[in-house]
């Protein structure tokens, strides 16, 4: 699959219909420590009717580990530059967690580019100061030891109890844990720092006029339901959906619920 050089950085992306200019476009922005694989079940579900474009942020997945540029505004500029390079004039933009921090900025910077905005397991606030010492400790461990020794600590942040306690999904749990461990040490250190040092967007949310869907798992401890409700109150006309039995990664944990919620929202917009 191809890479494009944008903002002096090679960005990896997957495009389900590169030669189809008729299908509406859906763009998928993943969360911290993940990659395009986070949306496999969504791309599979929607690709018959939509041109699905998923990409890896700099420093993660198969994108280049750049020297700098891991703040949320630069990541939003990367996403916009990628869409411009692909001649995308209008799209539905989905962002989960870190991808959601970026998606909000895309909606604020270039509202004319978006049909809809879909925010999953994310927040408009800066990182909670009480979390930061723990995250910095985690960062030090990653910097010295890599992701393998800390993956056990990260899994309960990323997934809810229903998924982690489901014996029938042991193989899936193992797959995602392995994916965490494959992260580039330098890339994820920089990316994590970008997330914990991010500015909030809450004060600007009232400027978002794009039709917005907010999705959150009822077992999400990283960005709990209250964070989603706070965004929902601030974005006029937004719709809020709570996914049962999902944590911070509902696209993986409860893909059928997520796909249905997105599909219904898009149908109502059409």
In order of start, what are the domains of the chain with their CATH numbers? 3-269 (3.40.50.1820)
Kindly state the tokens that stand for 15: 């495009």
What is the chain's pLDDT, residue by residue, as a tens digit (270 residues)? 699 999 999 999 999 999 999 999 999 999 999 999 999 999 999 999 999 999 999 999 999 999 999 999 999 999 999 999 999 999 999 999 999 999 999 999 999 999 999 999 999 999 989 888 888 888 888 888 888 999 999 999 999 999 999 999 999 999 999 999 999 999 999 999 999 999 999 999 999 999 999 999 999 999 999 999 999 999 999 999 999 999 999 999 999 999 999 999 999 998
8 A C-beta contact, residue 40 and residue 14: no
Residues making up the chain, counted from first to last:
270
Total-model pTM: 0.97
**How many degrees, rounded to 5, is the angle at CA 26 between CA 176 and CA 80?**
95
8 A C-beta contact, residue 205 and residue 97: no
Residues 187 and 21: their CA atoms lie apart, in Å, by 34
Give every CB contact of residue 249 below 8 A, 6+ residues apart in sequence. Answer: 31, 34, 38, 96, 121, 158, 159, 163, 176, 217
Residues 142 and 175: their CA atoms lie apart, in Å, by 20
Residues 128 and 182: their CA atoms lie apart, in Å, by 27
- CA torsion 209-25-75-120 (nearest 10°) is 60
Residues 85 and 191: their CA atoms lie apart, in Å, by 23
């Amino acid at each position: 699959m191809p890479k494009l050089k944008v903002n002096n950085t090679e960005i990896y992306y997957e495009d389900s219909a590169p030669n189809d200019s008729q299908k509406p476009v859906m763009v998928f922005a993943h969360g911290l420590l993940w990659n395009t694989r986070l949306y496999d079940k969504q791309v599979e579900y929607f690709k018959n009717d939509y041109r699905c474009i998923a990409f890896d942020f700099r420093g993660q997945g198969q994108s280049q580990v750049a020297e700098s540029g891991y703040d949320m505004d630069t990541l939003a500029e990367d996403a916009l530059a990628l869409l411009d390079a692909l001649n995308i004039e209008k799209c539905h933009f989905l962002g989960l967690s870190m991808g959601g921090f970026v998606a909000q900025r895309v909606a604020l910077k270039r509202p004319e580019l978006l049909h809809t905005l879909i925010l999953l397991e994310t927040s408009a606030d800066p990182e909670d100061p009480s979390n930061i010492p723990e995250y910095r400790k985690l960062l030090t461990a990653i910097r010295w030891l890599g992701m393998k020794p800390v993956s056990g600590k990260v899994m309960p942040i990323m997934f809810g109890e229903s998924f982690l306690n489901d014996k029938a999904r042991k193989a899936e749990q193992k797959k995602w844990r392995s994916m965490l461990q494959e992260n580039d040490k330098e890339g994820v250190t920089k990316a994590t720092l970008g997330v914990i040092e991010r500015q909030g967007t809450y004060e600007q949310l009232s400027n978002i006029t794009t039709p917005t869907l907010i999705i959150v798992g009822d077992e999400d401890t990283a960005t709990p339901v209250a964070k989603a409700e706070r965004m929902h109150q601030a974005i006029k006309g937004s719709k809020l959906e709570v996914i049962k039995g999902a944590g911070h990664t509902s696209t993986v944990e409860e893909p059928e619920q997520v796909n249905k919620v997105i599909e219904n929202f898009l149908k109502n917009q059409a």
